[in-house]
Structure 1
Amino acid sequence: MKKILFITNHSDNAVNSVVAWLDKLNQYYIRINTEDFFAASEKLTITLSNLSIDCNYTLNEIEILPSEILSVCYRRPSLTTFDGKSHSEYIHAQWKHAIWSLTTTLESYWVNHPLWGKNLLEHNKLYQLRLASTVGLKIPDTIISNNINEIVNFSRNHGDKVACKPLRHTNLVNEADAPVGIYTQMVTTKEFIGRDQSLSIAPMIIQQYIEKKIELRVTIIGHHVFACEIHSQSSDRTKHDWRRYDFENVKHAVHEIPRKISDRILKLMRALRLNYGAMDLIINPEGEYVFLEVNPTGQYGWIEDITGLPISKTFALALIEPTENGIKRYSVQ
């Protein structure tokens, strides 16, 4: 019987909701939670034979035959740290690369293969924007810089206000040792003046500020496109970044994307070699759709809960019937 393989972690809510559907549909699957690899009881063996030019995998005496794998869902595998343990860096590195060896020798339908989804596209906004532009999606003018003169000139050329964000979402620690997220901010030219020292510490993304009518969170699975309106301008809290969540005041609703735009979105997904993505767009006051980024492992649970869109079920069906659902089999070679 064909199996679906999950390489993930215990707490990923998207995987939890998808496997619940697989249980309902009586589809057999194997779930590898990579945090468990570090337990003394966990055993992994990867075997390569010169005769068969094939790999066989065994995890805790459960054999995983590549020929039996229908599709693979790779979502946010996490590796336990070894603080205070002897040779912790060595142990962590060996497990990390054992997992990498597994993923790069298993030919199947991937959602998504880490070669592209993680290594190439994750936090690589400029590359995404360039490809989005080539398929006909509108994008904001963008620079990455820590040069105060370039930043000020860019801001002046774009109406004296720009959107600033980190290249990678990272938490800082405040005076109370609590994590503090860094969100997108609208910054004026005047606010940049005199901040040479702080701005030169590290590069950041500065973009043309796009006025918003509404924002969209678009979840793509194969050729299925689910769009949700986020009325972020209804709250001062979410005006510049809806990830500051204000569910009481910010309406979420199903959105019908014009065929021309959805075709371009799917074309971009193929160019990025993604079978799944959580995409962020803005609809400006003129009604134009503006691409911001796509997250290869983005979450969608709150969208599904609020709108009732059948995202988890579609995800499960796509893993069971990948070709019928538009998922491509990308070679890792």
Structure 2
Amino acid sequence: MILIISSSESDGHIAPVAAELSRRGEDFRIYDPATYPASSTVTIESARGGTKTLLSWDGTVLDLACVKSVWYRRPGELAISDRLTTEEGTWLRLECNHLLRSVWAGMCACWVSDPQAIRSASIKIPQLKLAADMGFTIPRFTVTNDVDSAREFISSCHEGVIVKVLTNPFIAYSDQWCRLYTHLLSTSDLDKIESVRFGPTFLQEFVQKAMDVRVTVIGEEVFSVGIESAEFKQAQIDFRRVEIYDLPHTVMALPEHLSSLCIELVRRLGLRFGAIDLILTPDGQYFFLEINPNGQWYWLELVTGVPLTRSLCNLLTNGLNARKGCR
């Protein structure tokens, strides 16, 4: 049995994987924790030699001991009753999250990837340190709320400085959502340098690029796609500013040592999947920017035909036999 933990309605990655698993005749279920506790139940019972955990939703009752492989994609937010006070809802949300983390941690299965590993790997600074220690080349950076330190770093970067977020790129205002893109510091930004003191500011030395490179690691397989963003003004710093399908994509082969580094980075982070962002400079040098342990990938397959769905399904189905990842 393969369990997919995600929202099938809001995540376009679920349908192609489900279709491929169905084509192969694999037994799988899709569960979204956004139904818990409003319309799904979790029951844990003591049993000989341990516990028995039952997950029930939409007429399905699943004994999690039968699950040999799990794809942990992007689960929705918990469904906490609006009949509770704000204080009660806050408390109950913590209780529900604690229970679900206990359930996932107790499963002996092949995880793609383990939820705790995903959370740990998402922390930006340690992943950059690990990448540098392993031999990736990374741009110089500083994270600070000290205005003088920020000025000093900016002055030392003669080609320019970009500013980016550490975690969530969205700000929710009362009437709209605002997305914070990575951008090159301008003169008007420098006029507001005092705002650095409000909180951690992630500054990174600007590196001229020939193209962005998205590397998708699935198990022991590496798939690399070059995204030719340098020729598009709005996409030169952050290719997410333009319609991604308008940018030329090219399937490419990484140098062997770099491909091996990508696999090893994913392994050291305790993951079986990783979306790694590199940039390729005009002189042929690769710089590591970040790894997203649960990043987007299906658009790469739609644009280039690179077989990511097949690779992911191979990993999930092989986990049925190997039962790797038991903790």
| Contact in 1 for aligned 2:216/2:222 (Cα 8 Å) | yes
Q: Provide structure 1 residue ranges, at least 5 long, that are not aligned to the other structure.
A: none
User: What is the match of residue 89 of structure 2?
Assistant: 88
User: What is the match of residue 6 of structure 2?
Assistant: 8
Residue 244 (structure 1) aligned with residue 246 (structure 2): no
1:1-333 to 2 correspondences below 5 Å: 3-10=1-8, 11-39=10-38, 41-49=39-47, 51-60=48-57, 62-66=61-65, 68-80=66-78, 82=80, 84-86=82-84, 87-118=88-119, 120-122=120-122, 124-159=123-158, 161-173=160-172, 177-187=175-185, 191=188, 193-247=190-244, 249-322=246-319, 329-330=324-325, 332=327
Deviation track 1:105-148 (CA, whole Å, cap 9, x = no partner) reads 11221111111112x122x1111111111221111112111211
Counterpart amino acid of 1:24? Answer: R
SS at match of 2:142: strand
Distance in 2, matches of 1:227 and 1:15, equals: 21
Relative distance call for 1:310 and 1:78 in structure 2 (3 A) is same
Deviation track 1:159-189 (CA, whole Å, cap 9, x = no partner) reads 1611110111332256x9221200101115x
SS at match of 1:100: helix
| Contact in 1 for aligned 2:159/2:205 (Cα 8 Å) | no
Distance in 1, matches of 2:190 and 2:27, equals: 60
Relative distance call for 1:196 and 1:65 in structure 2 (3 A) is closer
What's the offset of the Cα at 1:315? 0.6
| Contact in 2 for aligned 1:57/1:65 (Cα 8 Å) | yes
Distance in 2, matches of 1:209 and 1:133, equals: 17
| Contact in 1 for aligned 2:70/2:109 (Cα 8 Å) | yes
| Contact in 2 for aligned 1:55/1:105 (Cα 8 Å) | no
| Contact in 2 for aligned 1:152/1:192 (Cα 8 Å) | no
Report how many residues are paired: 321
| Contact in 1 for aligned 2:170/2:177 (Cα 8 Å) | yes
SS at match of 1:13: coil
Distance in 2, matches of 1:181 and 1:38, equals: 31
Q: CA RMSD in A?
A: 2.3
What's the offset of the Cα at 1:191? 4.8
Distance in 1, matches of 2:324 and 2:264, equals: 16
Of all paired residues, the percent bearing the same amino acid is 26
What's the offset of the Cα at 1:323? 9.1
Relative distance call for 1:146 and 1:37 in structure 2 (3 A) is same
Q: Provide structure 2 residue ranges, at least 5 long, that are not aligned to the other structure.
A: none
Normalising by structure 2, we get a TM-score of 0.90
Normalising by structure 1, we get a TM-score of 0.89
| Contact in 2 for aligned 1:55/1:106 (Cα 8 Å) | no
Distance in 2, matches of 1:106 and 1:303, equals: 31
| Contact in 2 for aligned 1:4/1:29 (Cα 8 Å) | yes
Distance in 2, matches of 1:144 and 1:318, equals: 37
Relative distance call for 1:251 and 1:269 in structure 2 (3 A) is same
Counterpart amino acid of 1:186? Answer: L
Q: Which one has the bigger helix percentage?
A: 2
Counterpart amino acid of 1:184? Answer: T
What's the offset of the Cα at 1:243? 1.1
Relative distance call for 1:84 and 1:52 in structure 2 (3 A) is closer
Distance in 2, matches of 1:178 and 1:261, equals: 41
